[in-house]
Amino acid sequence: MALDFSQIIPALPGLADGMALTLKLLLLAVGGGVVLGTLLALARLSDNLLLSRLAKWYVNYFRSIPLLLVISWFYLVVPMVLSWITGDLTPVGAFTSCLVAFVMFEAAYFSEIVRAGIQSISRGQINAAYALGMTYSQAMRLVILPQAFRKMMPLLLQQSIILFQDTSLVYAVGLMDFLNTARSKGDIVGLPHEFLLFAGAVYFVISFGASQCVKRLQKRLAV
């Protein structure tokens, strides 16, 4: 059977909208995930035993369940619980549900990257900061975290590439990301295989190109 890619070009505007939604979800999820992951990492390294154990439980829990389950749970169950608690029956949109799910799920992975980055900084750095009269928060913000983020930047970007690929799972809640848009348009024009092959090629080009950039960045940041 011959493949017919003639309908790809007319469908590009719609596919571009799907990619824009995918990238928007990716950027917001990475930003939120890194912030929450950093807080979790600091909590795990805290001397407060309760705080450390809660953060450890959070990380282990979200790293032990499938992302698709988290997406479905936030889309179906959490809005029901919130409406039951608050009495507000306004539905939570698919994009918001997916964003919250990605942030909370990816924070567990970003947390381990940040924690490893912080622990890679020698203890003498924070002792020197204390000697200069800095508090713990000042030492972490001004001395430790900048050095740690420099070391772990390639790993954070690599995890972001994985997240870019995982955004395709939002098809489960009907969100029209790039892959779901390609599948839908392929079904409409009767060329599902061609559109899915095109979508796969786009994901490969973006992911492979980003991976090569991460490798170059890793060499540049190597100390």
Q: What is the 3-state secondary structure (H, E, C) of the chain?
A: CCCCCCCCCCCHHHHHHHHHHHHHHHHHHHHHHHHHHHHHHHHHCCCCHHHHHHHHHHHHHHCCCCHHHHHHHHHHHHHHHHHHHHCCCCCCCHHHHHHHHHHHHHHHHHHHHHHHHHHCCCHHHHHHHHHCCCCHHHHHHHHHHHHHHHHHHHHHHHHHHHHHHHHHHHHHHCCCCHHHHHHHHHHHHCCHHHHHHHHHHHHHHHHHHHHHHHHHHHHHHCC
Q: So what's the pLDDT on residue 219?
A: 81
Enter the pTM of the model: 0.89
Residue 90 within a domain? yes
Paired tokens of 160: 């972001």
- Residue numbers of the domain that contains 189: 12-221
pLDDT of residue 82: 67
Condensed to tens digits (0 to 9), the pLDDT of residues 25-77 reads: 999 999 999 999 999 999 998 888 999 999 999 999 999 999 999 998 888 87
The residues near 22 (Cβ < 8 Å, ≥ 6 apart) are: 164, 167, 177, 178, 179
What confidence score (pLDDT) does residue 222 get? Answer: 65
171 belongs to a structural domain:
yes
Identify the CATH number of the domain in which residue 57 sits: 1.10.3720.10
pLDDT at position 1: 58
Residue 116 inside a domain? The answer is: yes
Q: Is 1 within a domain? A: no
pLDDT at 90: 63
18 in a structural domain: yes
Tokens 């919250």, located at residue: 100
In a domain? residue 201: yes
Quickly tell me which residue has 């039951």 as its tokens: 84
Give the closest residue to 9 by CA, choosing from 191, 211, 223, 222: 191
Q: What is the mean pLDDT of the chain?
A: 89
Number of domains in the chain: 1
Q: Which amino acid makes up residue 133?
A: G
- pLDDT confidence of residue 88: 65
Residue 86 located in a structural domain: yes
Q: Who contacts 42 (Cβ-Cβ below 8 Å, separation ≥6)?
A: 118, 140
* Residue ranges of the chain with per-residue pLDDT less than 50: none
The pLDDT score that the predictor gives to residue 138 is 84
Asked if residue 174 belongs to a domain, the reply is yes
